[in-house]
Amino acid sequence: MSVNMAVDLGGIAMRNPVNTASGTFGNGVQFEGFYDVGATLGAITCKGVAAQPWDGNPAPRLAELPSAIMNSVGLQNPGVAGFVERYGAYLQGLRERGCAVICQIAGHSLEEYARATELFEELAPWASGFEVNISCPNIAAGGAAMGATPAAAAEVMRTVRPLTSRPVLVKMAPHDVAEIGRALQAEGADALSLINTIPAMALDVRTRRSRLARPTAGLSGPAIHAIAVRMVWECAQAVDLPLCGIGGIASWEDAAEMILAGATAVSVGTANLTDPLAAAHVAEGLERWAAEQGVDSITELVGAAEL
C-alpha cells in the first residue's frame, strides 16, 4: 500500500512535503553530487535574491553553538539578473525533473521588493512561485526588519501581490506569528513559511567581542526546533493558509512533528550542512511514517496532533 505524499503548498504542487530552507541549500546544484535532487525533493527554496547584487556582511559570518549555529551572512546575492544567468538553466531543469522551484525575494525597501518581483516575473518564467523574505533590514528604518509588525508585513505583501499571479509565500520571523500571519492572509498571501532564524548573541569572553562580525546573528539548527514547532502550531490556529514548517528539522521525526503541528510542507535547513543527505532521508522517513499511520494521503496528518 502506498501513501499519496503529494501536497499543495498554496498553489505550488509538491510530489512530497519536503522543501529546503532558503540560504542552506545553495541553489540546489551544490547537492547534485550527493543525490538526485530533482527526483527526490518536493521543492527547493533558493537563496534570497534582491533586484541588485548585495555583498552581505563581513567575516566571520558563522559561529557554532551546542546543537546550533549562528549566521550573519546578510543575504549576499548576485541580484536577480546574475542569479538567473548563473542558475536559471539548472533551476528550469530541476522543475522539469518534477521538483518545484521557489525563488526568494529580498529587499531593503518596498521599491526594492517591487523591482525584484518584476525582474523575477520577467526573467524566471520557470519559477513555481515566490517566497518573500520580510526579515530583510529596512534601510530607511535603521535596519529593523521590513516586516516586523503586522502593518509593515502587510505593506510588503500589498506591494508584491499585484505584481505576480504565481503563488506568493511569506517567510516569517519568529515573533507574533498569529497576528502577522492574519495580516498576511488578509493581503492575499498563498502560504506562510516559518520560522526564520532566531536573533541571538554569542560573545568571546577573552576578547569581549562578538564571535561574529555583527553584534547579533541568527540562531538555527536542532536547538530551535521545539520553538519552531510551537510557532507553527500557533500560526496554524490563527490562519487558514497552508504552512511550511521550518526550524531545526534534522530527521523525519522532526518533520513529522511539524506536520502534526499544522505544517503542510517542511523545509530542511541547517541539517543540510551537517548531513548533505538530510532532506533526502527526511523524504524517505516521512513516507514510511505515513504508511505506518495508516493514512491514504499525507495531508490527513496535517494538524493531526491530538492535544
Residues that bind other proteins (CB under 8 A): 23-26, 29-34, 47, 53, 55-56, 58-64, 66-69, 71, 73, 76, 86, 221-222, 270-277
Residues 193-223, buried b or exposed e (16+ Cβ, 10 A)?
Answer: bbbbbbebebeeeeeeebbbebeebbbbbbb
Strand partners, 7: 14
Residue 21 makes contact with ligand FMN by CB under 6 A: yes
Residue 72 makes contact with ligand FMN by CB under 6 A: no
Residue 64 interacting entry, from ligand FMN, other proteins, none, C-beta within 5 to 8 Å by type = other proteins
Residue 276 interacting entry, from other proteins, ligand FMN, none, C-beta within 5 to 8 Å by type = other proteins
242 CB burial (10 A radius; 0-12, 13-18, 19+): buried
Residue 249 makes contact with ligand FMN by CB under 6 A: yes
Q: The cell 524566471 sits on which residue?
A: 124
Task: Among 220, 251, 264, 299, indicate the residue that binds ligand FMN (CB under 6 A).
Answer: 220
Q: Which residue's Cβ has the minimum distance to ligand FMN?
A: 23
The CB-of-248 to ligand FMN minimum distance in angstroms stands at 4
DSSP symbol at 58? P
Which of 46, 99, 103, 136 is labelled catalytic?
A: 136
Among this protein's residues, is 99 annotated catalytic? Answer: no
Interface region with ligand FMN, contact rule CB under 6 A, candidates 3-11, 157-165, 204-212, 246-254: 246-254
Residue 265 makes contact with ligand FMN by CB under 6 A: no
Task: Map the footprint of ligand FMN across residues 175-214, applying CB under 6 A.
Answer: 196-197
Residue 98 interacting entry, from other proteins, ligand FMN, none, C-beta within 5 to 8 Å by type = none
Cα 294 to Cα 1, 204, 205: the distances in Å are: 9, 51, 53
Residue 248 makes contact with ligand FMN by CB under 6 A: yes
Task: Please report, in angstroms and rounded to a whole number, the separation of the first and last CA atoms in the chain.
Answer: 29
At 284, which helix (H) or strand (E)?
A: helix 278-292
Task: Map the footprint of ligand FMN across residues 106-135, applying CB under 6 A.
Answer: 133
In whole angstroms, give the CA distance from residue 78 to residue 99.
Answer: 23
Angle (deg, nearest 10), helices 252-261 and 225-238: 30
Which residues are identified as catalytic?
A: 136
